[in-house]
């Protein structure tokens, strides 16, 4: 059955806050799903459902008892994901859950156990796998213009602090490692496949919140490669979203508008000739000193390439899940992948607590 001819799946939203409402917008006109309604514990958000032309279910129980609903989308604060996902699976619904899927890998195992018992599909909205900056850096690495990648940085930095809602509370699963870290790590492991040997994490608390307001996370891979993952809510100037450093070139993606580019050695045969590392190095005055090592390369000894921009449609996430429910495709976001990232986040919390690097895999 093709997507066009299959009848849309009835979907209901649990938690019609900022993201719940965004899901409703994104699902509109998609064809695969028909949004039946929503339930939110806040009266104002029940009112909002009416404004949006949705049916506000009077209770969670009534929503789960509606046979027209075959998919439940959980978009509540993080501490309610587990309980609500399990309730929906027990009611025989397929579930899309917001990220971070849960507060621990143990909670996630409970959810997955329930999905198995119920024979229903469960997936997590790791939508940033459809970010164009990520897909563009992925293409650069696949194209090989950087030579052998040895260091990769991925970050997001803002200056507005953590929003003053549940995101500031530890017991509700607040903090930036769970909020943004889960996205950045989820994608990083596709760029650097293979075992992660150690994890070192340091949290930042520049304004003294009870949860991490940002972090530095350093990952060492069995391959010898390394990655730096950074999130900050107290940076008034931002470093690039991506920095990929290979033996023959460096790529930078500055921002979500995809400013940036690649600087690489010309040619791919490794013969540096006059453009070589040693040949053109002449000492230059730099600050109060002199340096040959850090002298910039001559313009003719490098090539500057534009970013090979990849375009994407994040609604492919929903299309894929509808196909998976109909048995036409494998889930794009695999639960094993989400489990590994939850464990990596736990190892990061442990590292931050102990103040030292911790072993992860291999
Ligand atoms: N994937 C993304 O790009 C993305 C972006 C933003 C937020 N999120 C995730 O979406 C989730 C919601 O975030 P948000 O920014 O929309 O938060 P929010 O505070 O704006 O909305 C949460 C809503 O859930 C409701 N709620 C709380 N407990 C409930 C319960 N037990 N039953 C029903 N409703 C309940 C609240 O009243 C609120 O309206 C979080 O898990 C967050 O991490 C994901």
| Ligand 1 atom closest to the CA of 81, numbered from 1 | 41
Measured in angstroms, how far is the CA atom of residue 18 from the centroid of ligand 1?
7
Question: Which backbone phi and psi does 276 adopt, to 5 degrees?
Answer: -65, 165
Residue 43 in contact with residue 61, Cβ under 8 Å? no
Mutate to test the pocket of ligand 1, among 37, 77, 178 (most ligand atoms within 8 A of CB): 77
Mean pLDDT, range 29-41, rounded to an integer: 96
| pLDDT tens string 348-360 | 999 999 999 999 9
267: pLDDT strictly greater than 90: no
| pLDDT tens string 60-101 | 999 999 999 999 999 999 999 999 999 999 999 999 999 999
Helix 105-118, helix 81-90: angle, nearest 10: 10
For atom 5 of ligand 1, the residue with the nearest CA is 19
* pLDDT of res. 275: 47
Going through the chain in order, the beta strands assigned E by DSSP cover 9-14, 33-39, 55-56, 71-74, 94-97, 122-124, 149-157, 196-204, 214-221, 226-232, 242-246, 249-253, 260-264, 284-286, 289-291, 303-305, 358-359
Residue 233 in contact with residue 211, Cβ under 8 Å? no
The answer to whether the CB of 204 is under 6 A from ligand 1 is: no
Model confidence at 212, in pLDDT bands (50, 70, 90)? very high
| Ligand 1 atom closest to the CA of 127, numbered from 1 | 1
The answer to whether the CB of 42 is under 6 A from ligand 1 is: yes
Measured in angstroms, how far is the CA atom of residue 75 from the centroid of ligand 1?
4
pLDDT averaged over the chain?
95
- Assess whether the previous peptide bond of 21 is cis (omega < 30° from 0): no
The answer to whether the CB of 21 is under 6 A from ligand 1 is: no
* pLDDT of res. 280: 65
Mean pLDDT, range 282-310, rounded to an integer: 94
The answer to whether the CB of 85 is under 6 A from ligand 1 is: no
Instruction: State the CB neighbour count (10 A cutoff) for residue 183.
Output: 21
| Ligand 1 atom closest to the CA of 17, numbered from 1 | 21
For atom 43 of ligand 1, the residue with the nearest CA is 99
Report, in angstroms and rounded to the nearest whole number, the Rg of the chain calculated over CA atoms.
Answer: 23
| pLDDT tens string 126-146 | 999 999 999 999 999 999 999
Q: What is d(CA 321, CA 329) in angstroms, rounded to the nearest whole number?
A: 8
Model confidence at 213, in pLDDT bands (50, 70, 90)? very high
The answer to whether the CB of 14 is under 6 A from ligand 1 is: yes
For atom 33 of ligand 1, the residue with the nearest CA is 40
Mutate to test the pocket of ligand 1, among 98, 177, 341 (most ligand atoms within 8 A of CB): 98
DSSP string, 153-200: EEEEE-SS-S-SSGGG-GGGT-SHIIIIIHHHHHHHHHHS-S-EEEEE
308: pLDDT strictly greater than 60: yes
Model confidence at 298, in pLDDT bands (50, 70, 90)? confident
């Amino acid at each position: 059955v093709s997507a066009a001819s299959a009848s849309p799946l009835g979907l209901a939203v649990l938690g019609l806050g900022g993201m719940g409402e965004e899901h409703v917008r994104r699902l509109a006109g998609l064809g695969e799903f028909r949004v039946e309604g929503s339930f939110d514990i806040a009266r104002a958000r029940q009112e909002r459902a009416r404004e949006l032309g949705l049916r506000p279910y009077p209770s969670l129980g009534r929503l789960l008892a509606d046979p027209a609903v075959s998919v439940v989308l959980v978009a509540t604060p993080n501490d309610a994901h587990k309980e609500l996902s399990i309730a929906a699976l027990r009611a025989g619904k397929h579930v899309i859950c917001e990220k971070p899927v849960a507060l621990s890998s143990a909670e996630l195992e409970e959810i997955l156990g329930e999905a198995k018992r119920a024979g229903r599909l469960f997936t997590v909205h790791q939508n940033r796998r459809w970010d164009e900056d990520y897909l563009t850096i992925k293409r650069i690495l696949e194209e090989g213009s950087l030579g052998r990648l040895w260091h990769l940085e991925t970050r997001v930095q803002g200056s507005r602090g953590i929003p003053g809602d549940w995101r500031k509370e530890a017991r509700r699963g607040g903090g930036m490692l769970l909020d943004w870290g889960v996205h950045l790590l989820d994608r990083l492991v596709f760029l650097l496949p293979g075992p992660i040997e150690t994890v070192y994490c340091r949290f930042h608390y520049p304004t003294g919140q009870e949860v991490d307001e940002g972090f530095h996370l350093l990952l060492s891979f069995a391959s010898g490669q390394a990655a730096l993952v950074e999130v900050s809510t107290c940076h008034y100037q931002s470093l690039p979203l991506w920095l990929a450093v290979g033996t023959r070139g460096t790529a930078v993606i500055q921002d979500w508008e995809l400013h940036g580019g690649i600087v690489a050695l010309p040619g791919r045969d490794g013969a540096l000739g006059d453009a070589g590392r040693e040949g053109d190095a002449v000492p230059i005055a730099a600050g109060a000193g002199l340096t040959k090592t850090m002298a910039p390369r001559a313009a003719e000894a490098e090539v500057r390439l534009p970013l090979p921009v990849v375009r994407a449609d994040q609604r492919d996430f929903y299309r894929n899940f509808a196909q998976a429910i109909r048995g036409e495709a494998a889930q794009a976001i695999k639960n094993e992948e989400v489990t590994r990232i939850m464990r990596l986040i736990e190892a990061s919390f442990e590292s931050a607590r102990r103040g030292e690097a911790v072993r992860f895999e291999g």
